[in-house]
Chain A
Amino acid sequence: MPASRDYDDIPGTIVFDGRRSRRGYALNKFLMSLNQPANRAAFKDDESGYLDRFAVDDEQREAVLRREWLRLIELGGNVYYTYKLAACDGMTFQDLAGEQTGMSAQDFAQMMLDGGRPPVGNRHRAEWEAR
Chain B
Amino acid sequence: MARLVGGVACSHVPAVGAAIDKGKTGDPYWAPYFAKLEPARAWMAEARPDVCLVVYNDHANAFSLEVIPTFALGLADEFPPADEGYGPRPVPVVHGHPELAWHLAEALIIDEFDLTLVNEMTVDHGLTVPLSVMFGEPEAWPSRVIPLCVNVVQYPPPTGHRCYRLGQAIRRAIDAYEGDERVVVFGTGGMSHQLQGERAGLINVDFDTHFLDGLVADPEAIAGISHVEYLREAGSEGIELVMWLVMRGALHPSVREVYRATHVPTSNTHNGLLILEDA
B172 at the interface (CB under 8 A from A): no
Residues of B within 8 A of A36 (CB): 83
Q: A57 to chain B: closest CB distance in Å?
A: 16
- In B17-66, the 8 Å CB interface with A consists of 59-61, 64-65
Cα-based distance from A115 to B268 in the complex (angstroms) = 10
Within 8 A of B (CB), among A63-90: 70, 73, 78-81, 83-84, 87-88
Closest chain A residue, CB of each to CB of B58: A80
Interface size for chain A: under 10, 10 to 19, 20 to 34, or 35 or more residues?
Answer: 35 or more
**Are A7 and B198 closer than 8 Å at their CB atoms?**
no
- A45 to chain B minimum Cβ distance, whole angstroms, is 17
The answer to whether B60 touches A81, judged by C-beta atoms less than 8 angstroms apart, is yes
Interface flags, B63-96, vs A, CB<8A=1, else 0:
0110000000000000000111111000000000
Q: Which of A1-52 contact B (CB under 8 A)?
A: 6-7, 10-18, 21, 25, 28-29, 31-32, 34-37, 40
Decide: A94 and B15 in contact? CB cutoff 8 A: yes
Chain A hits for B268, CB < 8 A: 93-94, 97, 112, 116
Report the minimum CB–CB distance from B239 to chain A (whole Å): 9
Q: List which B178-237 residues lie within 8 A (CB) of chain A.
A: 192, 194-207, 227-228, 231-233, 235-237
Given known A-B contacts A84-B85, A112-B265, A112-B267, A16 and B155 have beta carbons under 8 A apart:
yes
Are B236 and A15 in contact (CB-based, < 8 A)?
Answer: yes
Q: How many residues of B contact A (CB 8 A)?
A: 45
Cα(A117)–Cα(B198), bound, Å? 11
- Which among A29, A87, A102, A112 is the interface contact of B64 at CB below 8 angstroms? A29
Q: Which of B65, B203, B236 has the most C-beta atoms of chain A within 10 angstroms of its own C-beta?
A: B65
Residues A123 and B232 in contact in the complex (CB < 8 Å), given A10-B199, A13-B196:
yes
Contact of A12 among B64, B155, B199 (CB under 8 A): B199
Using Cβ atoms and an 8 Å threshold, which residues of chain A touch B14? 93
Contact with B along A95-111 (1 / 0, CB 8 A): 01110111000001001
Q: Bound complex: CA of A122 vs CA of B232, how far in Å?
A: 8
Residues of B within 8 A of A130 (CB): none
Within the complex, what minimum Cβ distance (angstroms) separates B267 from chain A? 5
Cβ–Cβ contact B60 & A78, under 8 A: yes
Are B201 and A116 neighbours in the complex by a CB distance under 8 Å?
A: yes
Contact between B198 and A102, CB atoms less than 8 A apart: yes
CB-defined contacts of A118 to chain B, threshold 8 Å:
202-204
CB of A116 within 8 A of CB of B195, answer no
A123 closest partner in B (C-beta): B232
Cα–Cα, bound, A117→B199 (Å): 8
Inter-chain CA distance A99–B269, complex, in Å, is 16
Q: Is the CB of B65 within 8 A of A100?
A: no
B120 → A minimal CB distance (Å): 16
Q: Are B155 and A17 in contact (CB under 8 A)?
A: yes
Contacts of A87 in B (CB 8 A): 84-86
Contact A28 B205, CB 8 Å, known A21-B154, A83-B85, A100-B196: no
Residues of A within 8 A of B207 (CB): 119
Q: A93-B267, A119-B207 are in contact. Are A100 and B86 (CB under 8 A)?
A: no
Q: Hey, which chain B residues are within 8 Å of A70, CB to CB?
A: 197-198
Note all chain A residues with C-beta closer than 8 A to B154: 16-17, 21, 78
A70 and B195 CA atoms in complex are apart in Å by: 11
Q: Are B232 and A84 in contact (CB under 8 A)?
A: no
Q: Is the CB of B198 within 8 A of A116?
A: no
A11 engages B195 (CB within 8 Å): no
- Alpha-carbon distance A31/B155, docked complex (angstroms): 19
Residue B153, interface by CB 8 Å: yes
Cβ-defined contact, B267 with A94, below 8 A: yes
User: Is B156 positioned at the interface, with any CB of A under 8 Å from its CB?
Assistant: yes
Query: Can you report 7 residue pairs joining A to B where beta carbons are below 8 Å apart?
Result: A7-B228, A12-B198, A13-B231, A28-B60, A28-B65, A78-B65, A100-B200
